[in-house]
Every structure is written in structure tokens, then in C-alpha cells.
Amino acid sequence: MSGRFPQGLPRLEPAGLDGWMVRLFDAIDEGNMPWLTALVRECETAFGDRLVDLVPSYTTLLVVFDPLRLSAGEARKQLVELLQRLQPDEEAADAPVKELPVWYDASVGPELSRLAELAGMSLDEVVACHSERSYRVFALGFAPGFAFMGSVDPRIEAPRLDTPRRRVPAGSVAVAGRQTAAYPTVTPGGWNLIGRTPAVLFDRDREGFSLLQVGDRVRFVPIERNEFERLGGDTRAMEEGS
């Protein structure tokens, strides 16, 4: 795999009696995704019904198999063979962009002004900066349907809040460091809230449950309050002390 991966990679690391962690990269980069999505596809085909779960992340893929039907050694051998012939998923690199409508407003995005102050920008400039680029979904976690996306323009990069909120409303669009996300359900959280989307991000009746999947390309599209309401968005302002 010379010329495709950094020296010493990929690595296979044991993850219990029924799993292997495949480490393809050490650094987070959007260019990792075609390789990760290709390995997901190859594992699904090669392992078939002996596969229990696949958990892709920024630089790794956790492969969980049925230990009653496949030994750890056999699973490792299968993964080595897959890695030897792995090619990037070019379709993933050119995946269509999923659009998420967002109402950017201080009443639902109380840190919008904080990002503007840190960046020395106007509120409109922050909104433009956040919405004018597409993001790649690097991982799902924290809460069902919570998609970690990157990377935001470094001008609006911002640290997490010193004290996390006890209750972040569903649909809240946020920034933390170079990452951005939208909260799929009401949860605690310490990211900087800058707006809200009316999109239903997690639905148990939807195939795959999550609207966003690892490898997806996403763009946030600014909308006005009336359009946000028309799409079913919750316009209630953040509760004091939440």
C-alpha cells in the first residue's frame, strides 16, 4: 500500500474477542473518507452474515464479527486480504450534497454573537462563513443520529462552552473547534449554538434511522423564520439557564 497510507498504516488492533479496529490513518482529513467507505463496502461483502457491526470514524473502522462463526484469526486474515486490494470509493468522494435548512438567529443560536466577536466578523459574515461550504460526516456518536462534521472555516473555530448546557433543543446547529453538528434530540451539550434546523435528524421509522450517514456531504442552507416555521421548526427561544 506504499504511497496510499502513511508509514506503518493500516494497522489491525484487537478490540475484544469479537472485533478488530482497522486504523487506516492517524490524522483527520476529508480525504480519508473514500478509503473508509470502500472498506465498509468490502467488509459487508466479504463477511456477509458473519458480520455483526461496522463502526466507521475519523480514521478507523471497528469491525465486529460473530465469534461463533468466525475466529479472530480468520477475521484478521480476511481483513488483511481486503486491505491489500483496497481502492478508494470514488463515488463517495463525489457524493451528492445533502442540504439542511437552518434558521440562524440569536434566539435559537445564542453563541452566534460569540463566534462573531471571536472572529471579528458581523453576524451575517459568520452565517455566510458557516453555510458557504460543504461538510463531510466523519462519525456518528454521542447521541443517536448525532453527526460530527468538518471542517469549519478556521475563522469561526471556537472552543466548547466552559459549562455545558443541561438541555439543548433538538435541531440546534452548533460549532465546536473545527467541527459542526446538529443535535438530533434534546440532550445536554457544550457546543456553540448558532441556529436551528427543522429537519428530523433521527427517526426510528426511517431506514437507517439517521438522516446523515458517515461519508455524506452536507451543506447548511440559511432560511428565514417564516420558512423555518412552515417546515415545522420550533421557534421557541432557548430557556434561561438551560
pLDDT in tens, 117-176: 999 999 999 999 999 999 999 988 888 899 999 889 999 999 999 999 999 999 999 999
pLDDT in tens, 195-241: 999 999 999 888 778 999 888 999 999 999 999 999 999 999 876 55
Question: What domains can you pick out in the chain, each with its CATH number?
Answer: 11-93 (3.30.1360.40), 97-230 (2.40.100.10)
- Is the separation of the CB atoms in 181 and 193 below 8 Å? no
Run of H or E residues at 74? helix 72-85
Run of H or E residues at 5? none
8 has pLDDT over 90: no
**pTM of the predicted model, to two decimals?**
0.82
3-state secondary structure of 238: coil
Closest CA to 141 of 149, 133, 152, 151: 149
